[in-house]
Amino acid sequence: MKQVVKAPHTLDGEVSLPGDKSISHRAIILNGIARGDARVSNFAQSADCLATVACMRALGVEIESSKGGLVVKGVGDRGLKEAEDVLCAENSATTMRLLTGLLAAQPFLSVITGDRSLRSRPMDRVIQPLRLMGAQIWGRSSDSRAPLVIKGGQLHGISYTLPVPSAQLKSALLLAALFAQGDTVIREPIVSRDHTEKMLRATGAKIEVKGDTITISPSRLKAVDIIVPGDISSAAFWLVAGVIHNRANIRLSNVGINPTRSGIIDVLNSMGANLSVENERVVSGEPVADLRAQSSQLSGMEIRGELIPRVIDEIPLIALAASVAQGKTVIREAQELRVKETDRISATVKELLKLGADVQELPDGMVIQGRKKLRGAACESHGDHRLAMMLGVAALVAEGETEIDNAEAVNISYPRFWQDLKRLSAAKL
C-alpha cells in the first residue's frame, strides 16, 4: 500500500487514541493466568496485541469480545494447557518475550515463532536469565532467534541485574518468577517502563519495588478489570505534528502519562514546545491526562542516558522534530534501536535524508542540524509501523507530495492512523 500525503494549510481537531499497547498485552496475559473474570476496556485492537490474544486462546484462556473491549476468563496459576500447534507472535516482540517467560514455567512443551521480521531479532537477552532460573529453551543460531522451543518445568528464583533497560526482559522474568521456587530479585540500573509491576500489584502479586530493586515471590493472581488509557506512543505522532506545523491545534484525550513512558513530553518541552497537560488523574492505577499540542518554535538539545529508555520508541519522531528545530540535536546511547522491527537508526537517517533533512548516523544514535525545509519525496516504511507514521507526520510539513510505500505497516500498532491524519488535515480555521 502506498500513501500519498500533502502538507495541509492547517491541522486542527481532537484525536481519540487507540489503547496503550504495552498495557493491553499485560492485561490479557496477567488476567489470563489469574482467578476469575476481568473486563479489559479500550483494548488496543492492533496486530501486535491481537497476536497476544490468539496465543493466550491457544493456551486455553477464553477471551470474548465485548462492547468497548474484551472479557478474559482467567484459568488460574496452573490452568494453561499445551497448545495444539505452534504459537505465532506475528510481528510482536512483546508477545514473544513475555510469553517465553510465562511458558518456561509451565509443565508442557511449547514452540513459538513470528513473522520474518521477528524471526530475525535476537532473543538471547531473555533466554539467558531464564536459563539461570532453570528453564530449558532452544532457538536458532548463537543469539537464539525464533522459532523457540520451550520445555517448561520447575524454576527457581534468582538475583539478576538487567544488562540494559528493557521492560520486555524484566516482564518475562517477573512472569516466570510467579511460578518459581523462592524469591526473584531484579535490579535495574536504569528504570524501564513499569506497567507490569503496577498490574502485578493490582492483581495481588507479592511484589515489592524499592528504588532500582524489584523483589517478587511466587504468587496467585486475582483477575482485575482494567481501563486501558490512550497510548502515549501513538499520541507522540500528533504531539510532534502539532508543534512542527505552523498552523496547528491538536487535542488528545485520556492519554497515559506514566513517567516511565512520557519522555516525549519532557523532550518536546525542553525543545520549547507549546504543550499543555490537563485534567491529570489516575485510571486503573495508571496516570492519565488530556494533552494539547500547538505550533511552536523548537530548539535542538542533547538526548542520552536515563532519558533514552523513556523515549526509545519516539526517537525517529524526535529526529524529525529536530530537523525543523533551531540548532543542533545529538542523540546518543540509543543502540537498542538497531534491533527493533528494523534498524531504526539507519532507516530513520536514510528516510529523513530523502526529505532533505541534515542528519548524520552514529553507531548509537544520530546528529541532526536543524532548520531545514523538508521536501516531499518517495519514501519507504521498511515494514516498520513507527517509521511509516513518522514519515506521515514529516509529510505534513514538507513541500509538495510525499509518497510512503508499505504504509499498511501502521496496522501493527495504530490501524486508524491514516484516517486520523486525513481528518486533522481537512480542518478549516
Residues with catalytic roles: 313
pLDDT value at residue 399:
96
User: Could you read off the pLDDT of 33-81 as tens digits, one per residue?
Assistant: 999 999 999 999 999 999 999 999 999 999 999 888 999 999 999 999 9
Q: Is the peptide bond before 18 cis (omega within 30 degrees of 0)?
A: no
Question: For 83-131, where are the E strands, in sequence order?
Answer: 87-88, 109-113
Task: List helix spans (H) across 217-305.
Answer: 232-244, 263-270
| Cβ neighbour number for residue 330 with a 10 Å cutoff | 16
Q: Which three cell numbers stand for residue 277?
A: 497537560
CA distances from 119 to 103, 108, 126, 129 (A): 18, 23, 14, 20
- Provide the pLDDT for residue 427: 58
Which three cell numbers, joined as nine digits, stand for 130? 531464564
Alpha carbons 145 and 143: distance in angstroms, whole number: 6
- Quick one: pLDDT at residue 429? 39
C-alpha cell at 44: 488496543
Residues of the chain with pLDDT under 50: 428-429
Fold annotation for 3-18+231-425 = UDP-n-acetylglucosamine1-carboxyvinyl-transferase; Chain (3.65.10)
Q: Are 201 and 30 in contact (CB under 8 A)?
A: no
CATH 3.65.10.10 in the chain, residue ranges? 3-18+231-425, 21-216
* Residues whose CB falls within 8 Å of the CB of residue 192, separated by 6 or more in sequence, listed in order: 162, 165, 166, 167, 170, 260, 309
What is the dihedral sign for C-alpha 230, 233, 237, 242? Answer: positive
Q: Which amino acid is at 364?
A: D
- Kindly report the CATH class assigned to 21-216: alpha beta
pTM: 0.91
Per-residue pLDDT tens digits for 373-426: 999 999 999 999 999 999 999 999 999 999 999 999 999 999 999 999 999 998
